[in-house]
Amino acid sequence: MKFSELNLNDTVLQALDAMNFDECTPVQENAIPVILEGKDLIAVAQTGTGKTAAFLLPILDKLSREKHPDDSINCIIMSPTRELAQQIDQQMEGFSYFMPVSSVAVYGGSDGIQFEQQKKGLTLGADVVIATPGRLLSHLSLGYVDLSRVSYFVLDEADRMLDMGFYDDIMQVVKLMPKERQTIMFSATMPANIQKLANNILRDPVEIKLAVSKPAEKIIQAAYVCYENQKLDIIQSLFIDEVPEKAIIFASSKLKVKEVTKSLKRLKLNVGEMHSDLDQSQREFIMREFKNGRINILVATDIVSRGIDIDDIRLVINYDVPNDSEDYVHRIGRTARANNDGVAITFVNEKEQTAFKSIEDFLEKTIYKIPVPENLGEAPEYNPRSHNRKSNFKGKKKFSGKRKEK
């Protein structure tokens, strides 16, 4: 379905046209009409499905079409991390380019000047406030933020927010908003605590569930079946002759991230690391250097696999097998974007074979196993034990459709 077929006003469609957005993704096709109708919504959809546009576009449409107070906050969008808040803010700028809609991004890790700018936006009543829970509460505690006229409340990546311990923070903010508001919730999964949150803050919501999509066909997927102590040597062998313009290596712990980074720096490669030990300004600096091409290889924990938009990544390496099929799709989905080709390589040690077989079962394909270089010694056979672990994603309704790239 094309955006022009939805009931969006001309200024929204003008912005979409300028940004080369033509066709809706499945989550946009299903969520936008519900939000335009003013109904509460809970949508289960993974990152990378276009969900940011799915809530921003109808809210911008309603803000420009309907009467809202000029001097008050009309919409709160809550995001679990600063990186995600910044990304939503960037999309907000693009989509609202032709509209008289004001917005402010409110997150931690910034200096005193930015805090004052955030305070100014909150005090004057920006139409849309994009915020992390902790920083919004800091401003609220100082007594100058009025949420009594908020019409729209969006929780993005709600499952991550609860994983990060923000349940009480969310409920504190909810108490300060009017009961008569439209609440929209997006989550990658629907565990019991998300259902509980939905029951507490949503009124008769429409529920949309999208199956985890398979990775794009143009991603070449391969794996090395190896011993744990061979992984670093394999990485070094991959980068000795040729370094891709941009590559991401995902590792399961910050300890491994540091180990891999150290190993690649010995080869005099331009490497950056991303993990929870870094403060916000350090993370931001690394991401900027990576986007600008001054860093070729980014070694990261899963903090980057959700929601960071970089289009020209040609290689993704999973240093460890991801926990489940959804994480695998998230990770390798960082490559082959914007009509580029991409390669995804996973290292599978003998203990990870069963988990990797689950991913192959979900993908309904056998991923090619590259032989470990002979000089690194003997490698284990790929012989995953039979298992009964069922994919979490079967039985969910599937929708088809995609965004058209120009």
Q: For residue 361, name the pLDDT band (cuts at 50, 70, 90).
A: confident
pLDDT at 95 over 80: yes
Q: What is the pLDDT of residue 396?
A: 34
pLDDT at 90 over 90: no
Q: What is the pLDDT of residue 405?
A: 39
Q: For residue 393, name the pLDDT band (cuts at 50, 70, 90).
A: very low
The phi and psi torsions of 157 (rounded to 5 degrees) equal: 50, 55
Looking at every residue in the chain, the average pLDDT score rounds to 85
Q: Where in the chain is the domain with CATH 3.40.50.300?
A: 3-209, 219-376
- Alpha carbon dihedral 174, 180, 182, 186, in 10-degree steps, equals 30
Q: What is the pLDDT of residue 240?
A: 82
Global pTM? 0.62
Say how many CA atoms lie within 13 Å of 89 toward its Cβ.
18
Pick one of 3.40.720.10, 3.40.50.300, 3.40.640.10, 3.40.50.720 as the CATH number of 3-209. Answer: 3.40.50.300
Q: For residue 281, name the pLDDT band (cuts at 50, 70, 90).
A: confident
Q: What is the pLDDT of residue 406?
A: 38
Q: For residue 25, name the pLDDT band (cuts at 50, 70, 90).
A: confident
Q: What is the pLDDT of residue 222?
A: 96
Give, rounded to a whole angstrom, the gap between the first and last alpha carbons of the chain: 16
- High-pLDDT (> 70) share of the chain, %: 89
Please provide the CATH number assigned to the domain covering 219-376. 3.40.50.300
Range from 38-52, 184-198, 301-315 carrying the lowest mean pLDDT:
301-315
| CA distances to 38, 147, 182, 210, 399 from 59, in Å | 10, 17, 10, 21, 23
Q: What is the pLDDT of residue 336?
A: 62
For CA atoms 146, 148, 152, 156, give the dihedral sign.
Answer: positive
The 10 Å Cβ neighbour count of residue 304 is: 23
Q: What is the pLDDT of residue 164?
A: 84
Q: What is the pLDDT of residue 404?
A: 38
Q: What is the pLDDT of residue 303?
A: 63
| CA distances to 27, 45, 80, 132 from 157, in Å | 14, 9, 7, 11
- Secondary structure letter of residue 368 according to DSSP: E
More confident residue, 247 or 215: 247
Q: What is the pLDDT of residue 212?
A: 65
Q: What is the pLDDT of residue 47?
A: 63
Q: Is 322:367 a contact under the CB 8 Å cutoff?
A: no
Q: What is the pLDDT of residue 278?
A: 81
Q: Mind listing the pLDDT tens digit for each residue in 305-316?
A: 555 566 678 899
Rounded Cα–Cα distance for residues 157 and 270 (Å): 32
Rounded Cα–Cα distance for residues 42 and 343 (Å): 34
Q: What is the pLDDT of residue 61?
A: 94
